[in-house]
C-alpha cells in the first residue's frame, strides 16, 4: 500500500501539470468511491451535480490501486461520498495525494453514507486485522439492498443540501422521484423472489447478506474462509460437501472473483455458479442502480428455477 502511494504521488507530480477536465462551473463537484454511490448521487443531485466515481463496477472495491488519475478526480471535488465501514478506506490515501482540504476526514465535504444503516455480520469479537479480514466493522456491502436506498439517498440529500442550502427542495424532489421508481421496482422484485423464500445459497465473497436477508433467502456458507481470505483446500471440500448434503443449487460469484474455482465447486456440488453485479456496472446491462438489482433478481430467479 505504502509503495503504491509513493509511486502514485511521484506520477501525480508529473501529470499535475495537466489540467483536469473542468466540469460546468456552477455544478457541485462530487466524487463517489463506488459506482452504487455515484449512481445514487446522480439520482439525488440531478442536473445540479457533476459526479465522478473512483472504483469501477467490475473491481473488488476492497482493494483499489490508488493511481494518479484517482487523485486528479479528487483535487477539485466539493464533496467526497464514501461507503464507510472500511470498504473504501483506501480513499484516505487518494485524498492525501489530492491535497484537497474540502474532503479530508472530518471536513464537511467528507460524507460517510453508512450513517443510520443497521450493519449486519458485526463480529462478536474484535477482528485481528493482521489476519486479513476485510470486514472488521461488519459487512460493508449494504448498498446492494434496495431497501436501504432510502437511507443512503437521505444521507446524500442531506450532504448536498448542506453544501447548497438554496437547492434543498430540488434535491428532495429528485430523491422522491427516484424512490417512487424504486418502490415500483421493489414490488416487482418482491413478487419475483417470493417463491424462493427460505432457499439456501452459497456465496463466494460475503457481499450479498443484505439483499438475501431483504428477500428472505439464506446464506448457508461462504467460499472464502473469512471475508477477503482465499478458500483453503480443506474449506473448499467442506463447502462442496455441505452443498451436496443440503442440495444447495446456487453459488453466487462476484465479477472480480475466481470464476474458475467457483465453476469447479459448483460442478462438483451439482449446482450453478451465478455471477451477479456486485456493484453498478459489474456485469453487462447493470448500468444503473435499479438496472443492477433487476439483473441480480432475474439471474437468481433463473438459476434457482
Ligand atoms: Zn467485502
The pLDDT tens digits for 13-27 are 444 444 455 555 689
CA 50, CA 291: separation in Å to the nearest integer?
21
Q: What pLDDT is recorded for position 17? A: 44
Last residue of one domain, picked from the residues 184, 202, 235: 184
Same domain, 127 and 203: no
Q: What pLDDT is recorded for position 11? A: 52
Same domain, 196 and 293: yes
Q: Looking at residue 262, which CATH number applies to its domain?
A: 3.40.50.1980
Instruction: Give the whole-number percent of the chain exceeding pLDDT 90.
Output: 87
Same domain, 115 and 29: yes
Same domain, 157 and 197: no
* Alpha carbon of 24 to ligand 1 centroid (Å): 35
Q: Which residue has the cell 449512481?
A: 39
Same domain, 206 and 138: no
* Alpha carbon of 206 to ligand 1 centroid (Å): 6
Same domain, 149 and 217: no
Q: What pLDDT is recorded for position 133? A: 86
Last residue of one domain, picked from the residues 184, 215, 244: 184
Q: Domain residues for 289?
A: 192-304
Q: What pLDDT is recorded for position 4? A: 52
* Alpha carbon of 205 to ligand 1 centroid (Å): 6
Number of structural domains found in the chain: 2
Q: What pLDDT is recorded for position 24? A: 57
User: What angle separates helix 149-163 from helix 35-45, to the nearest 10 degrees?
Assistant: 60
Q: Which residue has the cell 461462504?
A: 222
CA 157, CA 44: separation in Å to the nearest integer?
6
Lay out the sheet containing 79-82: strands in order across. Answer: 49-53, 28-32, 79-82, 110-112
Kindly provide the residue ranges of all beta strands, DSSP E only, lying in the chain, ordered along the sequence: 28-32, 49-53, 79-82, 110-112, 200-203, 218-222, 250-253, 272-275
Same domain, 197 and 178: no
* Alpha carbon of 122 to ligand 1 centroid (Å): 12
Mean pLDDT, consecutive 10-residue stretches, the chain (305 aa), reads 50 48 75 98 98 98 94 97 97 95 97 98 78 90 98 98 98 98 98 98 98 98 94 97 98 98 98 98 96 98 94
Mean pLDDT of all residues in the chain? 92
* Alpha carbon of 134 to ligand 1 centroid (Å): 6
CA-wise closest residue to 64 among 20, 112, 4, 111: 4
Same domain, 261 and 172: no
* Alpha carbon of 140 to ligand 1 centroid (Å): 6
Buried b vs exposed e over 106-125: b needs ≥16 C-beta within 10 Å?
eeebbbebbeebeebbeeee
* Alpha carbon of 72 to ligand 1 centroid (Å): 26
CA 296, CA 278: separation in Å to the nearest integer?
9
Instruction: Give the whole-number percent of the chain exceeding pLDDT 70.
Output: 90
Integer angstrom CA distances of residue 281 from 49, 53, 204: 20, 11, 19
Helix (H, G, I), strand (E, B) or coil at 171: helix
Q: What pLDDT is recorded for position 128? A: 66
The pLDDT tens digits for 22-79 are 555 689 999 999 999 999 999 999 999 999 999 999 999 999 999 999 999 999 999 9
Last residue of one domain, picked from the residues 135, 152, 184: 184
* Alpha carbon of 199 to ligand 1 centroid (Å): 22
* Alpha carbon of 159 to ligand 1 centroid (Å): 25
Same domain, 168 and 228: no
Same domain, 59 and 33: yes
Same domain, 173 and 107: yes
Q: 3 Cβ partners below 8 Å, 6+ apart?
A: none
CB 175 within 8 A of CB 108: no
The pLDDT tens digits for 110-132 are 999 999 999 999 998 876 666 67
Q: What pLDDT is recorded for position 124? A: 85
* Alpha carbon of 85 to ligand 1 centroid (Å): 10
CB 224 within 8 A of CB 204: yes
Same domain, 85 and 177: yes
Amino acid at each position: 500500500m505504502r509503495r503504491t502511494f509513493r509511486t502514485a504521488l511521484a506520477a501525480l507530480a508529473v501529470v499535475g501539470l495537466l489540467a483536469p477536465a473542468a466540469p460546468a462551473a456552477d455544478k457541485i463537484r462530487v466524487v463517489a468511491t463506488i459506482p452504487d454511490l455515484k449512481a445514487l448521487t446522480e439520482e439525488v443531485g440531478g442536473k445540479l451535480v457533476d459526479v465522478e466515481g473512483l472504483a469501477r463496477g467490475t473491481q473488488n472495491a476492497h482493494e483499489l490501486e490508488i493511481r494518479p488519475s484517482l487523485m486528479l478526480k479528487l483535487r477539485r471535488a466539493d464533496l467526497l461520498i464514501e461507503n464507510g465501514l472500511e470498504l473504501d478506506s483506501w480513499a484516505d490515501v487518494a485524498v492525501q495525494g489530492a491535497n484537497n482540504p474540502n474532503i479530508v476526514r472530518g471536513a464537511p465535504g467528507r460524507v460517510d453514507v453508512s450513517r443510520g444503516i443497521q450493519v449486519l455480520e458485526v463480529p462478536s469479537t474484535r477482528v485481528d486485522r493482521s489476519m486479513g479480514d476485510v470486514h472488521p466493522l461488519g459487512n460493508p456491502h449494504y448498498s446492494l439492498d434496495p431497501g436501504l436506498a432510502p437511507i443512503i439517498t437521505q444521507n446524500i440529500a442531506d450532504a448536498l443540501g448542506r453544501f447548497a442550502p438554496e437547492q434543498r427542495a430540488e434535491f428532495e424532489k429528485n430523491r422522491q422521484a427516484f424512490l417512487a421508481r424504486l418502490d415500483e421496482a421493489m414490488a416487482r422484485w418482491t413478487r419475483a423472489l417470493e417463491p424462493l423464500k427460505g432457499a439456501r445459497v452459497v456465496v463466494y465473497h460475503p457481499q450479498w447478506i443484505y439483499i438475501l436477508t431483504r428477500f428472505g433467502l439464506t446464506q448457508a456458507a461462504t467460499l472464502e474462509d473469512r471475508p477477503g481470505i482465499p478458500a483453503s483446500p480443506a474449506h473448499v471440500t467442506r463447502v462442496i460437501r455441505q452443498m451436496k448434503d443440503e442440495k444447495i443449487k446456487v453459488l453466487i460469484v462476484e465479477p472480480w472473483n475466481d470464476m474458475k474455482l467457483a465453476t469447479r465447486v459448483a460442478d462438483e456440488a451439482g449446482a450453478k455458479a451465478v455471477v451477479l453485479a456486485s456493484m453498478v456496472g459489474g456485469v453487462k446491462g447493470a448500468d444503473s442502480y435499479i438496472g443492477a438489482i433487476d439483473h441480480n433478481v432475474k439471474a437468481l430467479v433463473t438459476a434457482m428455477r
